[in-house]
């Protein structure tokens, strides 16, 4: 069985945690579509195409064919890593200076078209869990299962801040909150494929749920939708 599972939601609402957990449990491929937008943003920063938060859109769009994004599985860390033109950039794309402008880069229609095409190609044979903002609405509108994650603002700030602390980033909770709310606003109000819950997505508010409880809920949902034909590890 090769289901396509779409997980969408605002930043730091636990999308990737549930997506990775589901992929492992159901032996599916996991694709972090946000990492692809982050990789393009990093490329733009590295090539001087963003100056003081201002994007040179035309130049970036012209450079898109030169950008190769891929994912590789690191057997040592047991984690997926993002490659930008062959270079491993997993940590770099998570840094605050990338987060600060990624929503603006993601709002460029040509960037979206470029990535949506690649995301669809990755899902051609099914058997994957993809998380992002427009997976259930635009990338895979016919996905077998769609989940829309939500969580309280407090818990989102706490999770993101802790994640950054663990990576050694020095940043205040207020700066994290500001970036989250800024990205929420841009992601939900951009003209091209804004973040909205697909009509047929099931909402998962994980504010007070443990990872185990969320996973149990999600696995049950997938099994229900797929008529129990998904094999479990």
Q: Name which of 106 and 206 has its Cβ closer to ligand DC.
A: 106
Window 37 to 66, contacts with ligand DC (CB under 6 A): 37-38
**Sheet with 79-84, edge to edge strand ranges:** 69-74, 79-84, 87-88
Q: What distance in Å separates the CA atoms of residue 62 and residue 114, rounded to the nearest whole number?
A: 11
Separation of alpha carbons 39 and 141, rounded Å:
24
Size of interface with ligand DC, in residues (CB under 6 A): 14
Among 106, 137, 149, 179, binds ligand DC (CB under 6 A): 106
Q: What is the C-alpha separation between 13 and 27, in angstroms, rounded?
A: 23
- Tell which positions 178-217 bind ligand DC, by CB under 6 A: 183, 187
Distance CA 214, CA 160 (A): 18
* Residue among 179 and 214 whose Cβ is closer to ligand DC: 179
State which residue, 69 or 102, has the beta carbon closest to ligand DC. Answer: 102
| Binding range to ligand DC, per CB under 6 A, among 77-85, 127-135, 197-205, 218-226 | 127-135
Token pair of 110 as six digits? 């040509």
Pairing label, strands 29-32, 50-51: unpaired
Q: Which of 7, 30, 31, 33 binds ligand DC (CB under 6 A)?
A: 33
Would you tell me which residues interact with ligand DC (CB under 6 A)? 11, 33-34, 37-38, 102-103, 106, 132-135, 183, 187
């Amino acid at each position: 069985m090769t289901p396509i599972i779409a997980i969408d939601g605002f930043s730091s609402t636990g999308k990737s945690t549930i997506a990775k957990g589901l992929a492992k449990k159901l032996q599916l491929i996991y694709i972090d579509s946000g990492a692809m937008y982050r990789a393009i943003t990093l490329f733009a920063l590295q090539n001087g195409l963003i100056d003081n938060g201002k994007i040179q859109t035309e130049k970036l769009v012209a450079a898109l064919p030169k950008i190769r994004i891929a994912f590789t599985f690191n057997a040592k860390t047991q984690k997926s890593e993002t490659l930008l033109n062959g270079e491993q950039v997993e940590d770099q794309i998570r840094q605050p200076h990338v987060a600060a402008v990624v929503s603006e880069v993601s709002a460029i229609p040509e960037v979206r078209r470029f990535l949506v095409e690649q995301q669809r190609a990755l899902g051609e044979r099914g058997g994957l869990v993809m998380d992002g903002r427009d997976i259930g609405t635009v990338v895979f509108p016919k996905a077998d299962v769609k989940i829309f994650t939500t969580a309280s603002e407090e818990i989102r700030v706490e999770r993101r801040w802790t994640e950054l602390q663990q990576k050694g980033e020095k940043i205040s909770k207020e700066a994290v909150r500001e970036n989250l709310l800024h990205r929420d606003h841009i992601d939900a109000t951009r003209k091209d494929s804004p973040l909205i819950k697909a009509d047929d997505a099931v909402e998962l508010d994980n504010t007070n749920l443990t990872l185990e409880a969320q996973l149990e809920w999600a696995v049950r949902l997938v099994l229900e939708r797929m008529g129990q034909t998904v094999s479990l590890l």
